[in-house]
Amino acid sequence: MSFYEQHILPHVIDFACGDKVIMEQRQHVLAAAEGRVLEVGMGSGLNLRYYNPDKVDFVWGLEPSDGMRKKAQKNLQQSPVQVEWLGLPGEEVPLDSHSADTVVLTFTLCTIPDWETALKQMKRVLKPGGKLLFCEHGAAPDETVARWQNRVNPLWKKIAGGCHLNRNIPELISQAGFSIRELEADYLPKTPRIAGFRYRGFAQ
């Protein structure tokens, strides 16, 4: 891992992902979390404050980056729910099958290199009837925006830790064998369009 990824990127991600507009998205999506939760790509722990301790038993926070883990310390200390940190990537979820009631994915599927394996792992650990809650940015439906997403993507990936601007999130989730039960897709306010087309919903 480079110096930039280890020491600078965690601060950049924490700052960008802590934007008010994005925090409102988190609050909305996490209201549905319950039971034993697996959060994939926990990052700096910005979601933790929104878990309801009356509904959530505890959270496995899967995050492969040590730099993100360091950055998460404050949010971990203030978490309303107990968190067990798993220092692995989403492609290698070290949990038993059917052990989670909820899987949470926020602004992470854009970054996971082998998204298919990771989603299959999430499907494996989710209990029958459990929910995959997601809120992700991705491919925009407008041709002009999509063209710019494709153009900027190679550079963006380098500066944003492997994040892709142009992944079609619902398509990837469906391809991995989930059924999408609820989906909202639109541009976030006050956000550059190439990074601001947001998909939010849940799948089973």
Ligand X SMILES: C[S@@+](CC[C@H](N)C(=O)[O-])C[C@H]1O[C@@H](n2cnc3c(N)ncnc32)[C@H](O)[C@@H]1O
> Which positions lie near ligand X, rule CB under 6 A?
13, 17, 40-43, 46-47, 63-65, 68, 89-91, 106-108, 111-113, 118, 161, 163
CB of 26 to ligand X, least distance (A): 7
* Helix (H), strand (E) counts: the chain: 8, 7
CB nearer ligand X, residue 66 or residue 147 = 66
Q: How far apart are CA 168 and CA 33, in angstroms?
A: 24
What is the rounded CA–CA span in Å between residue 135 and residue 114?
18
On the 0-12 / 13-18 / 19+ scale of CB atoms within 10 A, 198 is buried
Compare residues 78 and 147 and give the one whose CB is closer to ligand X: 78
Least distance in Å: CB of 84 to ligand X?
Answer: 15
Residue nearest to ligand X (CB): 43
Q: Would you say 141 or 162 has its CB closer to ligand X?
A: 162
- Backbone φ and ψ for 99, nearest 5 degrees, come out as -105, -10
Q: Left, alpha or beta for 98 (phi > 0: left; psi -120 to 50: alpha)? A: left
Q: How far is the CB of 79 from ligand X (least distance, A)?
A: 14
Instruction: Choose between 8 and 147: whose C-beta lies nearer to ligand X.
Output: 8
- C-beta closer to ligand X: residue 114 or 147: 114
- Rg (the chain; Cα; Å): 16
Q: How far is the CB of 17 from ligand X (least distance, A)?
A: 4
State in angstroms the smallest separation of the CB of 198 from ligand X: 12
